[in-house]
Structure 1
């Protein structure tokens, strides 16, 4: 630029010319500032006028892939532009000899050329404010997310203090706040981009894996950033509408329709880039947190008369249901894999870390009783499941969660049934059992352990975990036993019915157990019966006889005593279940005898009638059963009734031969 030399031909002083030029330059600067403000105002009006198109364009480009090289290119262009502006201002200053303009004008242009023009050195805080955006750009370019987040937090803290203490001029403070907002948005873009990349989402198995902590963080950050952007914009639009149009119904209706459309667009993006990924991976907790974050931002609009949460709940529900199903499937598959290697030996649970620790369970029931390894794992996964489902009660997923968990528990019971020797073919068609391989429970102790697993889960652990779905779960009844008892008595009818279904599923296992042991007593390995009419009919004619119970009932007595001893160690504090089990086994054997038509056909119409010795032996066997059942406290009313009916039936068959049973 050519230097303008002052002329002397007209006698005008140089100082006067310089003053005029300086005043003209200041006028130009003021005009440029006014032009900038007018441009910003025009930009704001344009954004509001075309807000729907703006937000669509932003959302459509939200996950566009950004390469680091492009970012570096943009930074390089910005540096070149700043350098050009600095050169231009420096040349202008030299041309008009304005000494008051600082040689640091190039740095001032980075914050809109608005630094104090007084003759003083910038303070350390002002220098930091100028250099801080460059530091953030470097951190973002190098993808150092943690450091960028920390730096943004620090910058917002400094800006907040500077605003309170007025240690920065309004122009510099405004530029700093703008830089912080732009860099935070750029960080959100990077996280959103990462969420779209297959390398971040990963190709994992739904059955055996859960979302990684990095994926969890990305989905949360994406949802939080997008929620803040969309719902703050809706809130601002609501405020502007109220200030301009008041509460005019026509404009209010238009605002509601527009806000609903923006909310739907937001929900579609969250589903596409967060919920769908977490749901497919079985990440119920991640999905729940995304929903909670979105609902938290959305609910703030209710104070402005915009109730948009139902819109989000309706659109989010399918994805959350998918996550729910995937999580239940993962529990089922994981438990099945453990059951294939379970040694069916009861142990106390190992120490756990994380959410499934003693403190997180909120009770000590699981740590007072023994379970096998697969049951321990099943219980821990169920505890986590209900922790995850709890925040989703607003979506009315309680019934669906209970039903899904019942199906998973029923599938586990089917595997326990398959673990009983001799039950594989009989139970092969159980729904949910499929062709899963299960390790056999060979010993009586291992078989009773199967019942210990199922009964403890159904009677105590699962119902207690399901109480987390109840609104009363938030109340603390620790210091009020009467209120705690009342809560148990007034448990939600749906949960009471659910518990009955769990117990019914355990009864299938108990029936199979008793039936298998009854068959082992009654039949030999060759298929011969140890309980036939011949053993009583053929007794008459024997000269010498010692009166003892028949071998099969002696064996029943020994088996029950042996099982009672095993159960006493396994069911500490739950003796009633052991008693009911032995009662059921005794009833199974006697009911078999009562319903064996071939046995009674031989007694009543056989080739040889039932004689006095045979009747006495039969009477002795039945009374022996009632005696040891009574002593063991597992003589039920039903067993007592059936035994008396059997005795009466045998006496009637004997009386039909013309002999007097009283002799």
Structure 2
């Protein structure tokens, strides 16, 4: 520390001893100038190095991000290549399917053209043969008759068309094959008649299925089907027509079931069994007593009775109410009466009806008896409460009170039973049902009371 100070002091002394000329730069100025330039150079170099460092770091970061991007692009390229391979396989498979489809379509077209040509040839031969038969004379009565039938069918004059066809068919059935007409001519003419008869059958069926058709018009239409030999179709139309009428009447009545809670089942029973009776009567009048037709009526009636039992249960009031009990009794009374009327005609539906209604009947009776039992138990409890406070000073109060309680409970029991049982129709079946449940209930009540 002392040495530099001495040197600087010596230099100052020299400068004082030897004053410089103007053209000579002092040593201190030179050193200051070099020192400032060196510091600036070092600072500039340091700043350039820092900039270079930042640039290198940015370059490394860019290279790393670009490397990751390159890896990602490489993976996407591999996936795209795999998708292209799959797409190529799919395209080749679709191409094979298209080729198979084209070959199949071509094969089907060839077969269709072959068959259509054959059919066209057959139809052409038949039509030409029929034309040859009918074009012998332009005033041929067969041609005139077929034209008249076509006009009647086009105008929906079914009765006239039916009468004309029936007359013409009977004429050809009674005449012999002798004459100028050959077998081919007769066969062609019968084929033309059969074709028009099938058209008449379709028109009669559609006419019979109209909802607004009256019973008289329905009978005429069904009689027409019978005349052209379609008795089975006519019977099916009869069942279908009456079934649609019944369903329409039932649908119109169902909204009022909530109003007539006790008598709705009787009305439904009347609708169903009256329809069955009408069908039986019409079938016997139009078709006679045929076992086949009777079996069809039985199947149709069983289906309608099953629907009736389902509607009775669905529209019933609460099963534990007295209204439900009365509704069940009225239902059984009316349905068994209707069944007894049908049994005279050979239709027995009593067993089926009771089989379908038995679960509903048992449920209503059981729940009503539970309601009665609750009332009896409640009345017995009230009697117990009254018995707890006998009058004092009465010597016979202890012995009379239990008897009075039993007498009061018994009277209430009998009154409840009378209220419930007065709605019961005393037919044998319902009577047995009710007595069975009453006896079992009495056993439970008195068994409960004795405990």
- Relative to the length of structure 2, the TM-score reads 0.50
For residues 231-276 of structure 1, the C-alpha deviation after alignment (integer angstroms, 9 at most, x for no partner) is 1011222334355399xxx95x98689647634632432332x322
Give the alignment of 1:415-454 within 5 angstroms.
415-423=311-319, 444=322, 446-454=323-331
1:339 maps onto 2:257 in alignment: yes
Distance of aligned partners of 1:224 and 1:334 in 2 relative to their CA distance in 1, 3 Å threshold:
same
By how many angstroms is 1:395 displaced? 8.9
**Does the 8 Å CA contact 1:342/1:373 hold for their aligned counterparts?**
no
Aligned to 2:361: 510
Query: CA 1:240/1:372 → structure 2, altered by over 3 Å: closer, same or farther?
Result: closer
Deviation at 1:579, TM superposition (A): 2.0
1:47 aligns with 2:137: no
Match of 1:404?
Answer: 300
Query: Do the aligned residues in 2 keep the contact of 1:278 with 1:284 (CA within 8 Å)?
Result: no
| 2:162 corresponds to | 227
User: For the structure 1 residues 577 and 499, does the alpha-carbon distance in structure 2 shift closer, same or farther, using more than 3 Å as the test?
Assistant: closer
Task: Measure the CA separation in 2 of the matches of 1:381 and 1:313.
Answer: 21
Pick closer, same or farther for the CA change 1:340–1:382 going to 2, 3 Å. farther
State TM-score, norm by structure 1. Answer: 0.36
Partner of 1:537: none
Q: Which residue of structure 2 lines up, in the alignment, with residue 291 of structure 1?
A: 222
1:546 to 375, 396, 402: 402
Which residue does 2:113 correspond to in 1? none
Measured against aligned partners, the alpha-carbon deviations of 1:532-576 in whole angstroms (never above 9, x if no partner) come to xxxxxxxxxxx9982666999876543332333343xxx4xx543
Q: Distance in 2 between matches of 1:331 and 1:556?
A: 43
Q: Is the 8 A contact 1:344 1:449 kept in 2?
A: yes
Distance between the aligned counterparts of 1:379 and 1:333, measured in 2? 16
Whether the 8 Å contact between 1:417 and 1:509 is mirrored in structure 2 is yes
Matching residue of 1:618: 447
Cross-structure match for 2:416? 559
Query: Structure 1, unaligned stretches of length 5 or more?
Result: 1-40, 65-188, 193-221, 299-308, 347-370, 425-441, 469-490, 532-542, 595-616, 622-649, 651-663
* 1:420 positional shift: 4.2
Q: Distance in 1 between matches of 2:202 and 2:336?
A: 38
User: Does the C-alpha gap of structure 1 residues 514 and 230 become closer, same or farther in structure 2, counting only changes over 3 Å?
Assistant: same
Q: Match of 1:241, SS?
A: coil
1:120-135 equivalences under 5 Å are none
Q: In the aligned structure 2, how far is the partner of 1:411 from the partner of 1:551? A: 47
- Which residue of structure 2 aligns with residue 136 of structure 1? none
Cα 1:42–1:421 change in 2 (3 A) is closer
Contact 1:267 1:316 in 2 (8 A): no
In the superposition, relative to structure 1, how do residues 374 and 502 fare at CA in structure 2: closer, same or farther (>3 Å)?
closer
Gaps of 5+ in 2: 1-135, 380-397
Q: Please tell me whether Structure 1 or Structure 2 has the larger radius of gyration of its CA atoms.
A: 2
Which residue of 2 is the match for residue 213 of structure 1? none
The 8 Å contact of residues 284 and 388 in structure 1, kept in 2 or not, is answered as: no
Residues matched between the structures, number: 296
Provide Cα deviations, 1:33-70, integer angstroms capped at 9, x if missing partner.
xxxxxxxx9566x233x58xx62x54444354xxxxxx
Residue number in structure 1 paired with 2:115: none
Structure whose residues are more often helix by fraction: 2
Partner residue in 2 for 1:323: 241
Tell me the SS of whatever aligns to 1:62. helix
Paired residue for 1:275?
205
How far has the Cα of 1:584 moved from its partner? 4.2
What corresponds to 1:386 in structure 2? 280
Q: 1:238 to 1:374 in 2, by over 3 A?
A: closer
1:247-266 equivalences in 2 (<5 Å):
251=183, 259=190, 262-263=193-194, 265-266=196-197
Q: Deviation per CA, 1:266-300, whole angstroms, max 9, x where unpaired?
A: 2432332x3223324285944444222443x45xx
**CA drift at 1:228:** 0.7
Contact 2:242–2:275, Cα closer than 8 Å, also in 1 = no
The change in CA–CA distance for 1:270 and 1:467 in structure 2 (over 3 A counts) is farther
